[in-house]
Structure 1
Amino acid sequence: MAATFFPPRILPMNYVISKEFHRKSSELASRFSSSLAFISNPFVSGVKHEGNSTFSHSFGFLRDYKLSGKCRARNTKVLHAHLLLTDYLQSDVFFVNSLLDLYCKAADMVFAHRLFDTIALPNVVSWNIMISGYDRNSMFGKSLDMFCRMHLFGVEPDEFTYGSVLSACSALQAPIFGKQIYSLVMKTGFLSSGYVQTRMMDMFSKNCNFEEALRFFYDASCDIVACWNAMISVAVKSGESWFALNLFHQMCRASLMPNSYTFPSILTACYELKEMHIGKGVHGLVIKCGVTDIFVETAIVDLYVKFGCMSEAFRQFSLMQFHNVVSWTAIISGFVQEGDINFALKLFKNMREIGHEINSYTVTSVLSACAKPGMIKEAGEIHSLLLKLGLNLDAWVGAALVNMYAKIGEVGLSELAFSEMKNIEDQSMWAAMLSSFAQNQNSGRAIELFRVMLGEGVKPGEYCISSVLSITSYLNLGSQIHGYTLKSGLVSNVSVGCSLLTMYSKCGCLEESYKVFQQVPVKDNFSWTSMISGFAEHGCADQALQLFEEMLYHGIVPDIITLTSALTACSYLRLFKTGKEIHGYAFRSGMGTDTVFGGALVNMYSKCGSLNLARKVFGMLPRKDAFAYSSLVSGYAQKGLIEETVLLFHDMCLTDVTIGAYTIPSILAAAAILCRSDIGAQLHAYIAKLGLQADVSVGSSLVTMYSKCGSIEDCQKAFDDAKKPDLIGWTSIIVSYAQHGKGADALAAYELMRKEGVQPDAVTFVGLLSACSHSGLVEEAFFYLNSMFEDYNINPGHRHYACIVDLLGRSGRLREAESFINKMPIEPDSLIWETLLAACKVHGNFELGKLAAKKVLELGPSDAGAHVSFSNICADVGQWEEVTKIRSSLNVTGMKKEPGWSLL
């Protein structure tokens, strides 16, 4: 084990080194002898330069020098030169060891090592001085090297040797070497030494090796408080807080008095276990034991802060006789977390006035307090203070500055704070700046900065990756970042995994998103919620609810966001019963009054047609947001309750709720049902006032509303106002043209839509075919019917075929229409036969009308309209017997013809 550190050396070489060193030292002696006069009393007064000093004088000389507190390298060299004039360095190893110790205390380890190499036969004290000297001067690697060399020369270590080398192992976090030392301790019988036990436990504590520490603790049968403290500390750091409390209980039963090192660890364990009552009991024991150490008092304050008991925390803080920067920081951060920003800033001001130093942790707490809109003045003052103190160059403080300005909304100042930082290799700075861009939805600058980061050679960590993924909607870039996370191993990180699956969900790649979700090794609540939300928002409601059930099966407790996503899925599927069950769960959990969840509840009940429950939940909401209003307005509109719709929208306008683009379509739909162009015009003016006329969904609703009110010119104006219409917008104008007999305009709009790169769907083709039907464009209609499948892989449905039948019927080509129906690839429904029946009535075709009526009655026997239509055909051709027969069948079956109505 030791041979790898030092080559073997033969002892006679020490004598050669000794001679050479003494020769050079003699030269130094003559040079430094005059310097003795400059070394102040007490130790110079007793020195005789003639070389006839007695042993007692020299011993007193060394003792007084050590006690003088002037162990400097230069003074030690002068003393060394003086001792060379005597023969003590050659005859007595005590003097060499004393001088060696002085060099170590003076931090001149190079000269100490040279002196050590002159010793012909160094004893264990000599080795211990060198090992502890290197240890004391933070040269821990050299300390281990010296121990290995000692072992190689066969010198038996003592307890002080083991104690020093174990300290070096702790500092270097070298557990493998520590285990080898542990074996030697066991072999040489020093396991019972309290000094060795303490250092061994300290090593295990700093390396957080719980199992090895526990084995040693029981093997050594530790009976000193320091070992118990170290074992408790290891347990807490390793997440074994219950074990730590059990040890503490055993310690007290063994009559071992806990001290100021015991209580901070135990108080930390109480917080980790969320055991406030145990923490209060420990606080009482602290008072009983009379421990008034500042660290224990600070730990008590910190405990109450973490549990949110700020009144008790402040009381304990006020009772402290002395405060350090940790206690100040704890109480300030506590009030920041509680949202009492003004008092937190007042405490910080008091801390500064008293003259207490502040550190980076204090500053970051204060910066987070100023990270609120409207606090730009306070933020600037703190920033100025940091510049004055030079703390702005600290990486964590710089990151906190960037985050503060980002949350205030001052991205420019965030960039300024970022540019002031010098350490460009620190990831926290880049992560903070990327997060700033992400919070302010500046995807372009975020991606640009990410590329600069890579160009500077800085490897992005989990926070950088998560920030970029949270804002990007570019699938290509997201896939490349995914590849990087796979290569770097970051894909297993929970936050990175969640960001990846969210990115794929936003890009519509739900399959890839689910694959990433399955690969996340430890799925937390956020992971499940992100995937459930992704499914719910992209129309995969079945998968969302299935995943929600799986989440509950795994024992993951859903939060308010998860429940809201599950309710969204219920709304899509119209699952009233499941939605009520989720409502009940949220009510029992105390989350039923949340504004966002309440809006989702109103939406679910509205979509499921239960408007009474929707209105009841709406009335119970402590704060009604735009989504809740819009959901209820939409529910009323869909049910045709026009008066309620308009009144609720009026109430909404009287509140301070912001009316968004998602509310307007529902109220426009109500105006369209009423065919009230005057109400529609007022709404249009209100929309223009809000600046929403360019919104795609609003524009489409305006087009539909004006179309149903009979104003095609206003349709065109509303469509022209919309900024970059989407598929729904284009389809709305095509359908409007079709309904008003403007077939050529409808086809022209379709061609413009294709040029804009918008692909049609089945509804678009219904509008096109309807336009052809109303304008008698037979050839064009068949062209578009064939184009559906050939160009866009859309299978025509019953409504498309009904348009063709209607077109042929309007053109008087009834037999051709019949032949078309018989050759259809799908079974004709009642709509298609009703269309043919209507055409037969127009053209007076009794025989074909009779066939069409028969088919309609077979598919819908309770259809009174089919009976009436066929009755009218019979009447037109003089078949009064048939008319009588049909009217009689209506009376027998109890069917009634609905009366016609008109708004005119």
Structure 2
Amino acid sequence: MVCGKKACAIPGSAVFSRYLHFGSSIGAKSSLRKITAAEEGAQYNLEWLNKVLEGLDRNVIRGRGERDYFLYIVRLCTRLKALVAGRRIHEQLVQMGIAEQLPLAKFIVQMYLSCGSLDEARNLFDLLPSKDVGMWTAVIAAYAKYGRWQEAIKLFETMESRTGPAKATYFAVMKSFASAESLAGARLVHSRIVELGAENDDLVRAALIEMYGRCASLEEAWSIFSSSVAGDGGPYSVLVWNAIISASFQNGQLKGSLELFWKMRRQGVRPDSLTLATALDTCAASGNLHEGRMVAELVTVYGLQSNDLVNSSLVHMYGKCGSLDDARRVFDGMAHRGPVVWSKMIAAYSEHGHCSEAFVLLKEMESAKMVADASSCVAFLQACGSLLALEAGQEVHGWITMKGLEQDVFVGNALVDMYGKCGSVEEAWAVFDNMKEKNWFSWNFMVEAYCSSGYSTEAIQVFLQMLQEGVKPNAKTFTSVLVACGHAGFIREGILHLVYMSSDYDVVPIAEHYACAVGLLGRSGWVKEAEEYVKKLPDAEASVWDALVTACRIHGDLDRGRSAAESLLECSPHAARSYAVVAGLYDALARSDDAARVRETMTSKGLTEERVTSSILVGNTTCHEFITADTRHKRIQGIHAELEDLGQRIAKDGYAPDASKLLMHERAEEQRQESLFYHSERLAVGLGAIKIRGDCPLRIIRNFRMCADCHTAIKFMSKAMGRTIILRDGSSQLHRFVDGHCACRDYW
């Protein structure tokens, strides 16, 4: 509330409650409209809602309830996802005999949908004598969102028979099936639009392309795009271009997506913020800093420097490509930084070994009150996952439980993902198992949680359970399944999944799946077969050649490795990672001259090789970062003493150092140390042994793939210390060392 120029001491929520208590509906409605933006940002407060409900109980009994302010309160329950309170309101309205009156009923249905209670929403929806297009679409969208595609399609057909064909209706429903990735639903809507003769409208055409792209049917998306050509050979509008560029990107066609972007520019079509954001995201996914900078220049050309969407994508692109100073410059210059862009900046620091900066930013995000609602919780949990900040994530989980947000499907998914990324699969399963509503993201995150921690059998079992529950797997699901098959050595099963994903589930394989298949074959020693497989692909992306180079490095196949390295650099000549991977191949094969040549080429192109770092979180307060042979830490003498003691203990258990397993970029430091015990990840283990007492796992992040000798040594250390050590390295593998064994089974 505002009195003159000063805020009243009594908050607007309390004033509303007082008006309601004394039966003044006019005053109550007036106070609701004047609630300050600050209170809205805090999601009003559940305690206030309880007071409102107490007032409603008294007013209903006295017969002083009024429909208008019931609308406000139902909408409040929707905002807060307060299902229990919403049910109480609904029960009272039923007693008053007005629950089925529009627009009140519409808002009650929306409240149930927002809270994920589809059956309660449908029960009321079916009772309504009349329904507008918005209500039909909202319920269909909810069924699609939660993976109940058959019910969504059936309801769509019922709606069509009752309301008749309408272009606006089809347009709205297309968004639903695109979100659901339901190809059957997409084709059904498309056929109706053709019958209606509405397919030549640019808005409809763009929506169709987007829908097919989201459903992984790029061929059908291309068919529509090809039919939308004007007389001069160019498409009618930027909407259509955006749709096909985005569809190509979503389906793993990174090179094709960028080619479309530049072709659009050549044809004189002016890109908008969405076009530039998608192009930047494509550069981020491919690690293409060179073209990313070219797109960034266009941001200034088109005057979009202040656009939040574009700036968020700029932070993501620079961060993914390792240009952290540029990412931070854009981040600091943003006037409005939402939780998502905070999460992206934190992830960028974490992925490139700057975990101290990432952790400082994580604490700033927390203190800036960024964790205030469901969407910001999701972003914060994503940041915790990228940083292995389990304790910070657990604190937010407690807040989520207190606010009653745990049953929000997106919050639940974020919790499963965070616990999975932190290697706490038991807690991930506990959240997943407790979720009343699950969508395909829920299942994907659970499969991925088991997969990343090396529990391949469990990952495949969850996948099979997902199929039994009637939830359709998507492209991401099969990526995790293929990785799980690779870790378990299930070559035949992995190849069969690759075949069945398109024949049985309408999921067209993309570059990510082909890379998994190459890894599956190559890492099992079938390097020749992996090479033949890649050569049969029509246009292999960089990730596929990357997987083949890695397989050649593991098995010491220099001839095939050199050929694959040349193809990788040709495919991705401006990505620093490509040169690092190729140099790593030559390092592992003791080809120092070739490695030096690759690094010289990398430097001449203005690309820089990242420093090797390992970081460990101690409690929820400090992140400690180490480089190889680091002497900067104030407790370095104690760390060295701890490592020397560990070295003696594991030597008695049979560990013998093997310098031949070192990656070349660490050998120079090693020559000065006479011991392998000064690698960055081992220093992190030494600090963890000193600072983290009890049986708490040590959680370490390393930005490069660790050498095989460190992997062997840490297995021995885990047994000698009686501690679980969880380490995520540059291969994105989450190594879980327990009692002398690693869950990856030495397969990474």
TM-score range, shorter chain: 0.5 to 0.7
8 Å CA contact retained: 1:568, 1:604: no
Aligned length: 512
2:634: which partner in 1? Answer: none
Residues 441 and 729 (structure 1 numbering): CA distance in 2 closer, same or farther, change over 3 Å? closer
1:441 corresponds to 2:353: yes
The CA deviation at 1:434 is 0.8
Q: Which has the higher helix share?
A: 1
User: Per the alignment, do residues 440 and 207 of structure 1 end up closer, same or farther by CA in structure 2, a change over 3 Å counting?
Assistant: same
Change (3 A) 1:267 1:626: closer
Q: 1:291 to 1:156 in 2, by over 3 A?
A: farther
Q: Is the 8 Å Cα contact of residues 304 and 312 (structure 1) preserved in structure 2?
A: no
Once the two structures are TM-superposed, the CA of residue 3 in structure 1 deviates from its matched residue by 9.6
Larger C-alpha radius of gyration, 1 or 2? Answer: 1
Letter matched to residue 484 of structure 1: E
Matched to 2:551, the amino acid is A
- Asked if 1:700 is matched to 2:613, the reply is no
Structure 2 residue 569 is the aligned partner of structure 1 residue 627? no
- The aligned residue for residue 430 of structure 2 is 519
Instruction: Specify whether residues 565 and 233 from structure 1 end up closer, same or farther in structure 2 by C-alpha distance, changes over 3 A only.
Output: closer
Within the alignment, does 1:364 sit opposite 2:271 as a pair?
Answer: no
Structure 2 unpaired stretches of 5+: 1-15, 45-51, 79-85, 434-441, 468-472, 503-508, 536-544, 567-580, 601-611, 613-627, 630-655, 680-708, 714-719, 723-748
- Paired AA for residue 225 in structure 2: F
Q: How far apart are residue 593 of structure 1 and its match?
A: 9.2
Matching of residue 598 in structure 1 with residue 518 in structure 2: yes
Q: CA RMSD in A?
A: 5.9
Cα distance 1:621–1:234, how it changes in 2: closer, same or farther (>3 A)? closer
Q: Any conservation in 1 of the 2:483–2:520 contact (CA below 8 Å)? A: yes
From 311, 314, 338, the counterpart of 2:225:
314
- Are 2:263 and 1:263 aligned? no
Q: Map 1:676-691 onto structure 2 (within 5 A).
A: none
Aligned equivalent of 1:407: 320
Equivalent residue, structure 1, for 2:716: none
Change (3 A) 1:458 1:313: same
2:20 pairs with 1:5:
yes
CA contact (8 A) 1:502 1:531 kept: no
Deviations 1:697-740 (A, max 9, x none): 9982399xxxxxxxxxxxxxx9996354545999xxxxxxxxxx
2-side partners of 1:294 and 1:211: how far apart?
Answer: 36
Counterpart residue number, 2:105:
200
Aligned-pair CA distance for 1:403: 0.9
Q: Relative to 1, partners in 2 of residues 1:235 and 1:326: Cα closer, same or farther, differing over 3 Å?
A: farther
Quick check: 1:430 aligned with 2:342?
Answer: yes
- The C-alpha deviation readout for 1:409-450, integer Å capped at 9, x for no partner, is 3221111111112346x3223212112213433223212322
- Of 279, 290, 307, the match for 1:374: 290
* Structure 1 segment 565-580 matched on structure 2, within 5 A: 566-570=485-489
Q: Deviations over 1:451-498 (max 9, x none)?
A: 4434545448443444454356xxxxx454354345334898445544
The match for 1:279 is 186
CA 1:690–1:219: 2 relative to 1, 3 Å = closer
- Aligned mates of 1:351, 1:203 — CA distance in 2: 48
Distance 2:92 2:268 in 1: 47
C-alpha distance 367-4 of structure 1, shift in aligned 2 (>3 A): same
Q: CA deviation at 1:406?
A: 1.9
Residues 184-199 of structure 1 aligned to structure 2 (within 5 Å): 186=97, 196-197=101-102
Which residue does the alignment assign to 1:384?
Answer: 300
**Equivalent residue letter for 2:258:** I
Cα distance in 1 for residues equivalent to 2:499 and 2:357: 43
Structure 1 residues 231 and 341: alpha-carbon distance in aligned structure 2, compared to 1, 3 A threshold: same
Checking the alignment, whether the CA contact within 8 Å between 1:304 and 1:313 is kept in structure 2 is no
Counterpart CA distance in 1 for 2:297 and 2:189 is 41
Matched-pair contact (CA < 8 Å) for 1:398–1:417? yes
- How far did residue 521 of structure 1 move? 2.0
Contact 1:370/1:404, CA 8 A, preserved across alignment: yes
Q: 2:154 aligns with which of 239, 246, 250?
A: 246
1:343 corresponds to which of 260, 265, 269: 260
Q: 1:328 to 1:687 in 2, by over 3 A?
A: closer
Show the counterpart of 2:379: 463
Say if 1:176 and 1:405 are closer, same or farther in 2 by CA, change over 3 A: same
Q: How do 1:57-72 and structure 2 match up within 5 A?
A: none
Unaligned runs of 5+ in 1: 10-112, 118-129, 473-477, 505-512, 536-543, 571-577, 606-612, 634-647, 669-682, 704-717, 731-759, 765-791, 795-904
Partners of 1:384 and 1:442 lie apart in 2 by 29
- The whole-number CA distance in structure 2 between the counterparts of 1:167 and 1:319 is 48
Distance 1:547 1:519 in 2: 14
**Distance in 1 between residues matched to 2:381 and 2:165, nearest whole Å:** 46
Secondary structure (helix, strand or coil) at the match of 1:401 reads helix
Partners of 1:169 and 1:177 within 8 A in 2: no
Distance 1:203 1:331, change over 3 A: farther
Q: 1:450 aligns with which of 356, 362, 367?
A: 362
What is the TM-score when the length of structure 1 is the normalising length?
0.44
Conservation of the 8 A alpha-carbon contact between 2:109 and 2:122: no
Distance 1:329 1:436 in 2: 26
Q: Distance in 1 between matches of 2:392 and 2:118?
A: 37
Instruction: Summarize the alignment of residues 726-875 of structure 1 with structure 2, pairs less than 5 Å apart.
Output: 726-727=675-676
Normalising to structure 2: TM-score of the pair? 0.52
SS of alignment partner, residue 375 of structure 1: helix
- Are residues 296 and 630 of structure 1, via their aligned partners in 2, closer, same or farther at CA, if it must alter by over 3 Å? closer
- Residues 17-166 of structure 1 correspond to what in structure 2 (within 5 A)? none
| Whole-Å separation in 2 of the counterparts to 1:691 and 1:226 | 58
